[in-house]
Chain A
Amino acid sequence: DGGITQSPKYLFRKEGQNVTLSCEQNLNHDAMYWYRQDPGQGLRLIYYSQIVNDFQKGDIAEGYSVSREKKESFPLTVTSAQKNPTAFYLCASSPPGQGRTGELFFGEGSRLTVL
């Protein structure tokens, strides 16, 4: 079945360690996104990528890095520079054109806890 797969679903790390969250989609979508959600709040955009080998910072990119070497994959690294990394991370993708500007579809999320 087509969809967006995020892994791992739950992750615990010690403070100061880098962590990489995986996001894979088999929907043939061009654009992919990473959002962060804190308890009781809406989603905030970290990074997005419209095409392979290109990506842009969102509203809260500091302390995060991404790569887009393949259309299907958009991994997010939470670096030790991120001051408050404990959060729920959601990956999304959107199909090209079709007159539905930027319609997003989400994965199930990864919950990161830094101890």
Chain B
Amino acid sequence: GIQVEQSPPDLILQEGANSTLRCNFSDSVNNLQWFHQNPWGQLINLFYIPSGTKQNGRLSATTVATERYSLLYISSSQTTDSGVYFCAVSSRGYGNKLVFGAGTILRVKS
């Protein structure tokens, strides 16, 4: 099946700093989503981005499908950004089922 690798596994930031999270995948994809899992466990949709660039407030994401990676940018980080960020992808070769990476744990300190 398709492989998804996220980096870094852990990240500690001072409030106000910027960060970049990376997601590499092993095959062509027809879906790529970024999620934020809050401290209570809920997964919040951040972006649906199988290709291209999107922005939502302080967050933006870029997927370069031909090179099989996606980046999530967090600018001016806040303590509420803390949690786990997951990248998930699906491909036709894997029955369009969403496969998750192991996540990046982000801690933002005030």
Interface size range on B against A: 20 to 34
Residue-wise interface mask of A (20-58) relative to B, using a CB-CB cutoff of 8 A (1 in contact, 0 not) = 000000000000010101000111110010000000001
**Chain A residue total in the interface (Cβ 8 A):** 23
Residue-wise interface mask of B (1-17) relative to A, using a CB-CB cutoff of 8 A (1 in contact, 0 not) = 00010000000000000
Q: Is A85 close to B, CB under 8 A?
A: no
Given A45-B97, A103-B48: A108 in contact with B41 (beta carbons within 8 A): yes
The residue in chain A whose Cβ has the minimal distance to the Cβ of B50 is A101
Distance from A27 Cβ to chain B, minimum over Cβ atoms (Å) = 13
Of B57-65, B72-80, B100-108, which stretch is located at the interface? Answer: B100-108
Q: Is B31 close to A, CB under 8 A?
A: yes
Report the bound CA distance from A56 to B29 in whole Å: 21
Are A101 and B90 in contact, CB atoms less than 8 angstroms apart?
yes
Are B101 and A42 in contact, CB atoms less than 8 angstroms apart?
yes
Are A42 and B86 in contact, CB atoms less than 8 angstroms apart?
yes
Top-9 shortest CB links A-B: A42-B100, A106-B43, A43-B100, A101-B30, A109-B41, A101-B31, A42-B102, A108-B42, A102-B31
Binding site for A on B (CB under 8 A): 4, 30-31, 33, 35, 40-43, 45, 48, 50, 86, 88, 90, 96-103
